[in-house]
Each structure stands twice: as structure tokens, then as C-alpha cells.
């Protein structure tokens, strides 16, 4: 972490929790983090689309913000199964994850599509959380830097400085997602530093020094502080551990 960047801890609930279960979980979470100051850490939860309408009012005026797990680039239209930015904003959504590796692996999403989703989010006042990360075979072949650089370049193509500043990047090595195998703090820091260096080349050092880069992949209360202690790791994108209020609160407390 760096004192110039406010840490951001986001929970990606993936395809877990009905609307009723989601309300119960955010109520529990609100109690667990009631004393955490918004000035010290930004907290975001990203429930499934079907829970947003129910969860939005529960989080209003709290220190927990609402995010979505994806967003489409069009305002409306014949795009079966997709959700437009205005549909999210209506429920108080502030962040949208785009380009998660599960979307890339199982639903064919590409850097070009992620770029369109992120741009549309920004144009509509939503902050994208742009996910990048290498697969195990790519890491083993020594391709991590090339893969991540190419994803970051493709996903952020055509961004203005202001758009970059409103964006969060999440580095999630695919081999660390849901596997219990976390990247070591050093492995994660190396890639975060690379991403920040690239941002510096494309957007200037001032912008690069302000953009927040989260780590994701088996983050738990027990490993969060070591990861977040690294200079270029500015937060976490948490899957499994965000489904338990006590664990997610434990991760949040790790950055205080």
C-alpha cells in the first residue's frame, strides 16, 4: 500500500446468494464493519444482478458501496442476458467488474469487449474494475509479463487520463483463483509494479501513481496483510472469503 492511494477491498460474490441471502449477508457485514471509516478504506460488494435491487437500499448511506459483476456497452437493445449501465445505476451501483477471468474462460470475453464494457461504464458514471491475469501454463512458460501487458493494453485502449483515474485494475492470476494457492506477496508485487510502470508509460507518472491496483486470488484474512503490505498492492478483489461477513471484515481490518 501507499498512503497516496486509498485501499479498496471488493467482494466478488460470483454466482452465490439469492436476493434474500444477499440482504442477510450485507446486514451482517454492515454490523461487522460499522466502525471502519470511509476515509481509511473503500469497501465494495458485488452481488449477482438479481440481488442488486434488494441490496441497494440496505447499503444506502453506509460505508459499503455496491458493485456489479459485469456491464454491457450498449444503452439498451437486443442483447439477451446482458445488463446496461443505467440498469445498474438505478440500484445504486458504483462499480462494475469487467473482464473477470471466468468471463474470459467460460463466456468468450476478449480484451476488445472488456474495453468497450469499461468505456461504457465510465461514460455512465460507473467505475470499472478491470481484471487481468495469466493462466498457470502462461506463468510456467515465462509469459506472465507479456500476457498481462497485452491484456492491460487491450482493456485500456483509448482511455483518457481521467478515465484511467476512475478505473481500478485487478491483477488476478488465474491459477490462484478459488484454488487456495495465493501468489506470494513478492510474485504479486512484481506484476503490480509492471502494471504501474506500463500505466506510467501510457498515461504519465502522475496518473500511474494514483491508480489503484487490487490483487485477487485466494485472499483470506490470514494472508491479506502480507499482500497489502506490498508497495504497489492497493487492495483486494475477494471471491470465496467475501461470502462470510467475518472473513471479509477480517480482510478489511488487515489494511487498517
Catalytic residues: 100, 172
CB neighbour list of residue 57: distance below 8 Å, 6 or more residues apart: 92
Kindly tell me which of 100 and 116 has the beta carbon lying closer to ligand 13P. Answer: 100
> CB of residue 162 vs ligand 13P: minimum separation in angstroms?
25
Residues 81-140 touching ligand 13P, rule: CB under 6 A, are 100
Q: What share of the chain is helix, strand, coil (3-state, %, to 5)?
A: 45, 15, 40
Assess 177 for contact with ligand 13P (CB under 6 A).
yes
Assess 12 for contact with ligand 13P (CB under 6 A).
yes
Residues 236-255 touching ligand 13P, rule: CB under 6 A, are 237-241
DSSP, res 143:
-
Question: Residue with CB nearest ligand 13P?
Answer: 239
- Residues touching ligand 13P, count (CB under 6 A): 14
CB neighbour list of residue 25: distance below 8 Å, 6 or more residues apart: 17, 243, 245
- Between strands 42-46 and 8-12, the pairing is parallel
Half-sphere exposure at residue 17, Cβ-oriented, CA atoms within 13 angstroms: 27
Map grid coordinates 510502470 to a residue: 197
Kindly tell me which of 100 and 203 has the beta carbon lying closer to ligand 13P. Answer: 100
Enumerate binding residues for ligand 13P (CB under 6 A).
12, 100, 172, 177-178, 216-219, 237-241
Amino acid at each position: 500500500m501507499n498512503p497516496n492511494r486509498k485501499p479498496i477491498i471488493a467482494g466478488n460474490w460470483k454466482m452465490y446468494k439469492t436476493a434474500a441471502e444477499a440482504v442477510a449477508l450485507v446486514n451482517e457485514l454492515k454490523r461487522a464493519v460499522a466502525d471502519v471509516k470511509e476515509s481509511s478504506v473503500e469497501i465494495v460488494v458485488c452481488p449477482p444482478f438479481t440481488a442488486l435491487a434488494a441490496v441497494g437500499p440496505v447499503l444506502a448511506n453506509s460505508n459499503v458501496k455496491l458493485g456489479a459483476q459485469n456491464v454491457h456497452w450498449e444503452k439498451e437493445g437486443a442483447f439477451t442476458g446482458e445488463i446496461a449501465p443505467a440498469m445498474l445505476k438505478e440500484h445504486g451501483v458504483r462499480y462494475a467488474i469487467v473482464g473477470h477471468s471466468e468471463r474470459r474462460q467460460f463466456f468468450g470475453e476478449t480484451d476488445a469487449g472488456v474495453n468497450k464494457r469499461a468505456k461504457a461504464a465510465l461514460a455512465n458514471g460507473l467505475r470499472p474494475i478491470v481484471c487481468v491475469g495469466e493462466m498457470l501454463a502462461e506463468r510456467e512458460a515465462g509469459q506472465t509479463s507479456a500476457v498481462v501487458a497485452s491484456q492491460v493494453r487491450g482493456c485500456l485502449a483509448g482511455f483518457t487520463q481521467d478515465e484511467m483515474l476512475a478505473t481500478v485494475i485487478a491483477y488476478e492470476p488465474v491459477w490462484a483463483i478459488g484454488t487456495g494457492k495465493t501468489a506470494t506477496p513478492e510474485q504479486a508485487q512484481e506484476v503490480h509494479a509492471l502494471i504501474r510502470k506500463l500505466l506510467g508509460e501510457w498515461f504519465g507518472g502522475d496518473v500511474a501513481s494514483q491508480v489503484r491496483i487490487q490483487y485477487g486470488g485466494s485472499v483470506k484474512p490470514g494472508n491479506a496483510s502480507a499482500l497489502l503490505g506490498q508497495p504497489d498492492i492497493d487492495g483486494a478483489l475477494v471471491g470465496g472469503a467475501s461470502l462470510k461477513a467475518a472473513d471479509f471484515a477480517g480482510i478489511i481490518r488487515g489494511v487498517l
